[in-house]
Amino acid sequence: MKDTAMPILIVEREMSVRLFLIRLLESNNFQPILAENAGEALSVIKSEGIKLVLCDWDSEDDEALTLCRRIRSEMGQSYVYVIVQSIQSDKDAIITAMEAGADDFVSKPVNAHELLVRIKSSSRIIELQQQLVSRNRTLEFAHKRMSDDYDQLTTELMLASKMQGNLLPDPKELRNTYATWMFKPANFLAGDMFDYFMVSDNLLAFYVIDVEGHGITSALTSFLVDNMLNPSRDGLCRRMLENSIDIRAAVINTVTELNKKFSNSEMYTRYFSMIYGMINTDTGRVTLTQAGHPFPIRYDASNACTQMIGEGGVPVGILPDVTYDAVEFELNAGDRLYLYSDGVTECMSPDGKMFETPRLQECIGQWHATEVEDVHTEFERVFRRWNGDSKPFEDDLSLICFEYRGTESQLGSVKNYGI
């Protein structure tokens, strides 16, 4: 099948020139279409989808120039190539025609070979322009699809972020220990997760995890770990407590079991740091295991000082045969225990400085005068200012604070903190 001949509109008053152009176009496989004047020409251009016009410019009027201007103003993105033919051949005439919107200029009497060369050249330009339009439409469609997909993904991530927030525990008092927190994800979803709950009448279990990286994959891993450690009887926390000889063993065995699952399975591709432990609310004794997570900080209310707890440890999911240990210490009335992710100490200021642990310890020392229920407000104020107010955080930030309010005999003196 042969390609359809390209239509070319002829706007020419002289009959002899018109016949000459018709024969020239037909003999070279173009389709000539006629128009008597500029008004009729514009109507034909719109109805027939004309892309190339041969227009006569009579020195006695400016109808051809008017046509050029109307084509440029009314055809929009549908580009029409205009070749003006005129007995005027001086430089000023060419400039006038081009300023009106003509693409090319041919002097009369027309040389058939010259005109044909210009027509073929213009047809190549028209073809390239049509390809460009087609590609732009394809790109616009692809951009629209991508924009729609992005909007849908953003909506779903916002919903997922809300669900993640709903998984976090409420700030609350668990017997005589008050727990509160601050949480700022770097993206919609975070690789940080934490929880605390009573696993017996006097044992408060807690954990904080930080999955490598941040984003969807890290968040899914944190969801999975959170589900494994859930406070139900089927959760790892209660099962290990029931099947271990004492609290220390239960804490160690819980982290060890997680490490076995994540080290020996191709399903789990991310490792994570964590702290898992328990507080005996009757005595204030804390037992915890540190698995590559930043060192917990204890605020000693009676001596008004901070103490870093733990010895480090290996993150969960890196090596299958890791041996974990536990540390134990006492909380007295008014003491606080802070757990946090490395996004806190590695938070960067606008001038490139890390927040670092000593500065966090200094803040914790200042926060002792703040009611524990308001610590999260102080934390946000400090880190928003440090990070540059509206600037997004580069990593997830999470901080949990436990205030031990003492044994029954100590409860009355908690608010004085012994200082």
User: Under a CB-based contact definition with an 8 Å cutoff, are residues 324 and 313 in contact?
Assistant: yes
Q: In terms of pLDDT, which residue wins out, 301 or 134?
A: 301
Hey, which CATH number is domain 6-136, 3.40.50.2300, 3.40.50.12500, 3.40.50.970, 3.10.310.50? 3.40.50.2300
For position 156, what pLDDT does the model report?
A: 65
Distance of CA 242 to the CA centre of its chain: 43
pLDDT band at 161 (very low <50, low <70, confident <90, very high): low
The answer to whether 262 and 268 have CB atoms below 8 angstroms apart is: yes
Domains 6-136 and 168-416 share a fold: no
Find residue 194's DSSP bridge partners.
208
pLDDT of 406 reads 87
Q: Rounded to whole angstroms, how far apart are CA atoms 383 and 347?
A: 8
Domain ranges of the chain: 6-136, 168-416
Contact 206, 196 (CB under 8 A): yes
CATH code reported for the domain at 168-416: 3.60.40.10
Q: Summarize pLDDT for 234-281 with one digit per residue, the tens.
A: 889 999 999 999 999 999 999 999 999 898 777 667 899 999 999 999
Contact partners, residue 358, CB within 8 Å, separation at least 6: none
| pLDDT score recorded for residue 53 | 93
Query: From CA 102, how far away is CA 56, in angstroms rounded?
Result: 11
